[in-house]
A = this chain, B = another copy of it.
Amino acid sequence: MSAPQASPAPARSLHQRIRDDIEGRIHSGQWPPGHRIPSEHALMAQYGCARMTVSKVLSLLADAGMIERRRRAGSFVARPHPHIEQVALDIPDIPFEVAARGHRYQFELLARQLRKPRRGDAREAELAGQARVLALQCLHLADERPLALEDRLINPAAAPQAVDVDFSQTAPGSWLLQHVSWTRAEHRISAIGVDAARARLLQVPTGTACLVIERRTWRGEQPVTCVTQVFLGDSYDLVARFSPGGR
Cβ–Cβ < 8 Å partners of A207 in chain B: 193, 207, 209
Tell me whether A240 and B186 are in contact (CB under 8 A): yes
Tell me whether A88 and B88 are in contact (CB under 8 A): yes
- Residue A119, interface by CB 8 Å: no
For residue A62, give the distance in angstroms from its CB to the closest CB of chain B: 13
- Residue A167, interface by CB 8 Å: no
Cβ–Cβ < 8 Å partners of A219 in chain B: 27
Please tell me how many copies of the chain the complex holds.
2
For residue A205, give the distance in angstroms from its CB to the closest CB of chain B: 9
Tell me whether B188 and A237 are in contact (CB under 8 A): yes
- Residue A93, interface by CB 8 Å: yes
Question: 1/0 contact trace for A64-99 toward B, CB 8 Å?
Answer: 000000000000000010111111111111001100
Q: Which of B174, B182, B237 contacts A189 (CB 8 A)?
A: B237
- Residue A177, interface by CB 8 Å: yes
- Residue A9, interface by CB 8 Å: no
A27 to B158, CA, bound (A): 13
A174 to B82, CA, bound (A): 7
Which of under 10, 10 to 19, 20 to 34, or 35 or more describes the interface residues of A? 35 or more
The majority secondary structure among interface residues of chain A is strand
Q: Which of B89, B96, B174 contacts A240 (CB 8 A)?
A: B89
Tell me whether A242 and B186 are in contact (CB under 8 A): yes
- Residue A139, interface by CB 8 Å: no
Tell me whether B93 and A86 are in contact (CB under 8 A): no
Cβ–Cβ < 8 Å partners of A83 in chain B: 92-93, 96-97
User: For A83, A84, A239, A246, which residue has the most chain B Cβ atoms within 10 angstroms?
Assistant: A83
Given contacts A87-B91, A177-B85, A182-B244, contact A193 B209 (CB under 8 A): yes
Binds B, one of A34-42, A110-118, A125-133, A228-236: A228-236
Cβ–Cβ < 8 Å partners of A89 in chain B: 86-89, 187, 189, 240
- Name the interface residues of A22-42: CB closer than 8 Å to any CB of B: 27, 29
Tell me whether A191 and B211 are in contact (CB under 8 A): yes
Cβ–Cβ < 8 Å partners of A208 in chain B: 193, 209
Q: Which residues of A are interface residues toward B (Cβ below 8 A)?
A: 27, 29, 80, 82-93, 96-97, 174, 177-178, 181-193, 207-212, 219, 231, 233-234, 236-244, 246
